[in-house]
Amino acid sequence: MMSAHSIDLFDTVIHGGTVATASDTALCDVGIRNGKIAALGQDLRGRQMLDASDRLVLPGGIDAHCHLDQPRAQGLASGGALMADDFHSGSLSAAFGGNTTIIPFAVQHRGQSLVAAVADYHQRANARAFIDYGFHLIVSDPRPEVLSDELPMLIARGHASVKVYMTYEAMRLSDRQILDVLDCNRRAGALTMIHAENYECISWLTDRLEAEGKLAPKFHEDSRPMAIEREATHRAITLSEVAQAEMLIVHVSGREAIEEIRRARARGIRIYAETCPQYLFLSTADLDQPDFRGAMCMCSPPPREPVNQTHVWQGIEDGLFDIFSSDHAPYRFDPSGKLMYGPKVSFRRVANGIPGLETRGPLLFSEGVMTGRIDLNRFVALNSTNSAKLYGLHPRKGTIAVGSDADIAIWDPARRVTITNDMLHHNVDYTPYEGREICGWPVTVISRGEVVVHEGELLGRAGHGHFVERYRPAKGAASWN
């Protein structure tokens, strides 16, 4: 029989650690009960005691931009290649990287019902995820019935973010179509995400490069120079301003697009911005590897010249970037993925995207916090809290507060790790960060009160992860001139 004293015990207590949120840092215990954070204090007692001495107790990471188990189709960034990660392997890899929530994409292909696309994605995710997940909606065919019925209904059902593309033949929307989606999202309460690159310029440059026999992966960057991203970013901001709708520019890669965002904010326009590890740690040199291996680092926008990394870091440090996501796009370096059309094909035919779910947080922690570029609270904001706020998860997720989900990652800031693909848990046969030594690693990951990962061992189970409905607060954060 349980004693009266034991009734007061928490299910789990994390004790002895340094707890950090996006705004505060304190040495305290965290008491967890029924999957929620129930108390923050001293000398708490629980049925399960987790010692976090000399470690950091942080909100679980939220990777709010990743691609998992998307259907194959031509005219996309994938070029028809097969994604190596589904919700099982992808969420497993995410958990080992300190994440407790992921938000991949439910893709509407042209001619398809958006509702049907979302239903299909629910089937793909059902009972397979180790951690919680939501869906962004990708709209490629904004027909009248999609805008008037399907999209508002899905937003009302907890899909608080919608992505549109300015490039890729099968995905790109016209400026008018983007305005229609922006207006619909504004009225229905969703954030619009946009991939900002100029399709016509990319197509023209690619044709010219191929005519000159410039086919190798290193020419991928030549086909998508910073000017193309700059122009599209400027145009996307203008469309957002005209529609008076909030917008997030995803995977910003370079100085020129960064400058456009700075100018917009100086005018009082609230434009959100995201960047990714590949723009801090990869460069054009990684695209220029022998034996077609540069294809392993091909993504869009592409990695830039090494000097560009300084500008991206500056945006991380001074607050230009709101969130830091992996843009995990898992294509193997074999005939199912990057080599689908062979090792001598034009860069045009290579699947765009690189893996990064598991390495995203540790890379930023090591090269941001441990080098002094950013403080711990800024790391928490970029890794967790800002995504929760932007995408309608806060305060349920993205922070350590009484009443929030007990989604927590315990980090050992002194642990040195050399990244190798063998140690990672994705289903991709390489990592672009092979051999990179980093300092700091998540050693225990807790999802809704359950320990999923501890000291390199999987303790969680597939199916623990649930779909999480997301709703954004009423409009008011944006300012329009």
Q: What is the DSSP string of 287-353?
A: HS-TTTGGGGG--SSPP--TTHHHHHHHHHHHT---EE---B----SSTTTTTTT-TTS-GGGSPP-
Which pLDDT does position 80 carry in this prediction? 81
Tracing tokens 């990743």 back to the chain, one arrives at 66
209's CB contacts (< 8 A; 6+ apart) are 215, 219, 222, 223
Q: 3: pLDDT confidence band, cut at 50, 70 and 90?
A: very low
Q: 72: pLDDT confidence band, cut at 50, 70 and 90?
A: confident
Instruction: Classify residue 404: in a domain, yes or no.
Output: no
Largest Cα span, the chain: 81
Instruction: Compute the distance between CA of residue 216 and CA of residue 294 in angstroms, rounded to an integer.
Output: 8
Instruction: Classify residue 123: in a domain, yes or no.
Output: yes
Each residue of 445-477: pLDDT tens digit?
Answer: 999 999 999 999 999 999 999 999 999 975 543
Percent pLDDT > 70 in the chain is: 95
Q: 478: pLDDT confidence band, cut at 50, 70 and 90?
A: very low
Instruction: Compute the distance between CA of residue 278 and CA of residue 273 in angstroms, rounded to an integer.
Output: 15
Which pLDDT does position 473 carry in this prediction? 74
State yes or no: pLDDT of 200 exceeds 80. Answer: yes
Instruction: Classify residue 285: in a domain, yes or no.
Output: yes
Instruction: Compute the distance between CA of residue 342 and CA of residue 312 in angstroms, rounded to an integer.
Output: 33
Which pLDDT does position 480 carry in this prediction? 32
State yes or no: pLDDT of 193 exceeds 60. Answer: yes
Mean pLDDT for all residues in the chain: 95
- The pTM (predicted TM-score) of the whole model is 0.95
DSSP code of residue 365: I
How many domains is the chain partitioned into structurally?
1
Q: 71: pLDDT confidence band, cut at 50, 70 and 90?
A: confident
Instruction: Classify residue 422: in a domain, yes or no.
Output: no
> Which tops the pLDDT comparison, 8 or 387?
387
Instruction: Classify residue 46: in a domain, yes or no.
Output: no
Which pLDDT does position 479 carry in this prediction? 35
State yes or no: pLDDT of 7 exceeds 60. Answer: no
Mean pLDDT of 210-228: 98
Residue spans of beta strands (DSSP E) within 24-95 = 25-27, 29-33, 36-41, 46-51, 56-59, 61-63
Q: What are phi and psi of 254, to 5 degrees?
A: -145, 170
Q: 481: pLDDT confidence band, cut at 50, 70 and 90?
A: very low
- CATH code for the domain of 72: 3.20.20.140
398's CB contacts (< 8 A; 6+ apart) are 22, 59, 62, 384, 385, 386, 387, 388, 389, 404
| Spatial CA neighbour of 337 closest among 80, 126, 47, 3 | 80
Instruction: Classify residue 361: in a domain, yes or no.
Output: yes
Domain that holds residue 224: 61-377
Each residue of 83-124: pLDDT tens digit?
Answer: 999 999 999 999 999 999 999 999 999 999 999 999 999 999
State yes or no: pLDDT of 74 exceeds 70. Answer: no
Which pLDDT does position 75 carry in this prediction? 63
Instruction: Classify residue 369: in a domain, yes or no.
Output: yes
Handedness of CA 220, 226, 231, 235 (dihedral sign): positive
Instruction: Classify residue 442: in a domain, yes or no.
Output: no
**What is the token pair recorded at 159?**
């899909």
